[in-house]
Structure 1
Amino acid sequence: MSAARFPLADLPDEQPRELGRLLFAGPVDFVKGVVAMPGLPPADRIEVCFAGRSNVGKSSLINALTGRKTLARASNTPGRTQEVNYFALGDRRYMVDLPGYGYAEAPVAIVEKWQALLRSYLQGRQTLRRAFVLIDMRHGVKAVDKEILTLLDKSAVTFQVVLTKADKVNAATRAETIAQVQAALTKHPAAFPQIVVTSSEKGEGIETLRAIIATLE
């Protein structure tokens, strides 16, 4: 698979944009934090999950998508950092916030427990339609990202890369990072052939990502 197979996502047509707007304009509620598979909510709707290394801007992106400044922070209080956090988008979708990975200071036992839960979740959640893997535009794909991408391949979960913090780099760095990510994705069969570029601060890519989530079946 060539790098050309991973273009940047265009702004969707009016209908999917409107579906995305309506979905995220409706009720968005924190449901629960889960530490083991039996605690997952009923698999009664489509869900998407967000994964990314620590400090990639995951909470900021979730807050930008939902238009609620403190939503993701509400699920990241002490004691919840190693949980799989569920948010309900009305009664139509679940949005799942996975713990940040690549946090070297975390105790080994905690990391192993999280990895086991992550594997179980990815391999056993039939309603999971897509994983969005967040990559910092300033850094590109790192070794720790490759681990999660390989796990998604093995779990046969379609994933789509979302580049974050696009407003933090100049045009040259932006082009360089996009090329690096495109090249990295050629090695991953589960990669969705489109990259979404976002800026939580500037709103870039938010409308596109909302439309993608709203139109998954």
Structure 2
Amino acid sequence: MSETEISDDLIEAGRKLFAREWQFIAAAPSIPTLPPMQGIEIALAGRSNVGKSSLVNALTGRKALARTSVTPGRTQELIFFRLGPELTLVDMPGYGFAKAPKDKVDAWTALIHAYLRGRANLARVFVLIDSRHGLKPIDREVLDGLDKAAVSYAVVLTKVDQLKPAALEARIAETEAALARRPAAFPTVFVTSSREGSGIAELRAAVVRLMAERGVG
């Protein structure tokens, strides 16, 4: 099986894994307040209001594990959700048009960069991109930073239920082309709809495979 293929066994393993009990464990506003490292961590990054909290809820099958808001920039800390000792999901502060003072946004940005550079058990960052808009310059800046830090990442297109099939295929193709020469990018572009549940099983399966590669679980 190639690294981009998802088997039925992986889909089922992902369903069982994410059906287990998740716990909120920390909201870290600074590096000293980060929880101890345990197992592997998967971080979710993206522009404000791209749907990170909704994706956390969809992945875990919980309606309100992560808070959702129509107000961009509500998440101001690194939010940690843990599944036993093996796996932690990290909801990162949204970047872009957060409604906050510049000094506070600068502090979030510094926190994110320090976390990405120094978290030894960070296995992958899922960079969420609104499928209706595609990669924006600020997204490309984030990908540049991940490449420079040699942090493995994959792009997740969100809200795909709001695109017609032909438009979605075009968006996937242009996103894959943009990632082709990026050294830290995972080759698969994931397509998801938290509202309809599409693509969630495949994303869970990708996490299971990543855990197996890291010898966790």
Length-normalised TM-score, structure 1:
0.89
Q: 1:76 to 1:146 in 2, by over 3 A?
A: same
Pick one of 135, 156, 161 that aligns with 1:141: 135
Indicate the residue corresponding to 2:122 in structure 1.
128
Pick one of 196, 207, 211 that aligns with 2:190: 196
Indicate the residue corresponding to 1:212 in structure 2.
206
* Matched AA of 2:84: G
Indicate the residue corresponding to 1:112 in structure 2.
106
* Matched AA of 2:119: R
CA distance in 1: counterparts of 2:167 and 2:205, whole angstroms: 27
Gaps of 5+ in 2: none
Indicate the residue corresponding to 1:162 in structure 2.
156
Q: In terms of mean alpha carbon deviation, does 162-171 or 14-23 score higher?
A: 14-23
Q: 1:114 to 1:82 in 2, by over 3 A?
A: same
Note the C-alpha offset of 1:89. 1.4
CA distance in 2: counterparts of 1:41 and 1:105, whole angstroms: 27
* Matched AA of 1:99: P
Could you list the runs of 4 or more consecutive aligned residues of structure 1 that deviate by over 6 angstroms after TM superposition? Answer: 74-77
CA distance in 1: counterparts of 2:82 and 2:208, whole angstroms: 13
Residues 48 and 96 in structure 1, CA contact (< 8 A), matched pair in contact too: yes
Residues 27 and 89 in structure 1, CA contact (< 8 A), matched pair in contact too: yes
Indicate the residue corresponding to 1:180 in structure 2.
174
CA distance in 2: counterparts of 1:174 and 1:44, whole angstroms: 37
Provide the aligned C-alpha RMSD in A. 2.3
Length-normalised TM-score, structure 2:
0.89
Q: In terms of mean alpha carbon deviation, does 129-138 or 39-48 score higher?
A: 39-48
Q: 1:138 to 1:74 in 2, by over 3 A?
A: closer
Pick one of 22, 34, 37 that aligns with 2:31: 37
Q: 1:62 to 1:215 in 2, by over 3 A?
A: same
Gaps of 5+ in 1: 1-8
Identity of aligned residues (%): 52
Indicate the residue corresponding to 2:21 in structure 1.
27
